[in-house]
Amino acid sequence: EIVMTQSPATLSVSPGERTTLSCRASQSVSTNLAWYQQKPGQAPRLLIYGASTRATGIPARFSGSGSGTEFTLTISSLQSEDFAVYYCQQYNNWPRTFGQGTKVEI
Amino acid sequence: QVQLVESGGGLVKPGGSLRLSCAVSGFTFSDYFMSWIRQAPGKGLEWVSHISSAASTIYYADSVKGRFTISRDNAKNSLYLQMNSLRAEDTAVYFCARVYYAFDVWGQGTMVTVSS
């Protein structure tokens, strides 16, 4: 099983700041990596797939990069609605696995 | 619009069974792979099971293998998860999700509580 490790667990930021979240895979997943945003009481929302492709309707302030085992999600200027938990997930191997999440808080 | 609506959750005793359903609308269900993903209270996301568009390929997480069965009815635009021999650790919100590379569309989830 591929273990996905996200860092940090919690990120304290201010609106307008640039924020970078990290995700590491225990073995290569090529670019078969997705990022999700989840707010309390809601289902996760797909932000990025293919490591760097924004999903439909996702603002340009969200960007993803990386390949192999190291990935980042960058939010260029944090908006109030971006405070949430972010998960990475690999879809290169079975079982599909998620990181433990990074909480972005004020 | 694209919509996934789960149902069938509830309170069940350890060892009991439940059948979850996911009703799909707004897209051609038979064209897509589908998955179930769960989230225990206050915890992260755990992929549970996957089914291909024609149900010819199925995968399960080790934690549910032999106890859960995924199925679909393309004529009814519905996805199912039959859960048997339920354990306390199966307590979670269960989401169905469409697969397009990643999980691109999610339902709102249905809560399953396993407790005596």
Digits of tens for pLDDT over chain A (106 positions)?
999 999 999 999 999 999 999 999 999 999 999 999 999 999 999 999 999 999 999 999 999 999 999 999 999 999 999 999 999 999 999 999 999 999 999 8
Question: ω into residue A59 within 30 of 0, thus cis?
Answer: no
Q: Is B75 on the interface with A (CB under 8 A)?
A: no
Q: What's residue A69's pLDDT?
A: 98
pLDDT digits (tens, 9 = 90+) for B61-93: 999 999 999 999 999 999 999 999 999 999 999
Q: What's residue B112's pLDDT?
A: 98
Q: Looking at residues B2-12, what average pLDDT do you find? A: 97
pLDDT digits (tens, 9 = 90+) for B23-58: 999 999 999 999 999 999 999 999 999 999 999 999
Question: Which residues are CB-contacts of B79 (< 8 A; sequence separation ≥ 6)?
Answer: B21, B22, B24, B34, B36, B51, B70, B71, B72, B96
Chain B interface disruption, residue of A96, A97, A102, A103, most B CBs within 10 A: A96
Q: Is A84 on the interface with B (CB under 8 A)?
A: no
Q: What's the distance, CA A61 to chain centroid?
A: 13
Q: What's residue A106's pLDDT?
A: 80
Residue of A nearest to B104 (CA): A46
The alpha helices in chain A, defined as continuous H runs, are: none
Nearest to B45 among A44, A46, A50 (CB): A44
Identify all chain A residues contacting B61, using CB atoms and an 8 Å cutoff: 95
The DSSP 8-state label assigned to residue B95 in this structure reads E
Identify all chain A residues contacting B102, using CB atoms and an 8 Å cutoff: 34, 46, 49, 89, 91
List the helix and strand counts (H, then E) for chain B. Answer: 0, 11
Contact yes or no for B21/B95 (Cβ under 8 A): no
Tell me whether residues B35 and A49 touch, CB distance under 8 A.
Answer: no
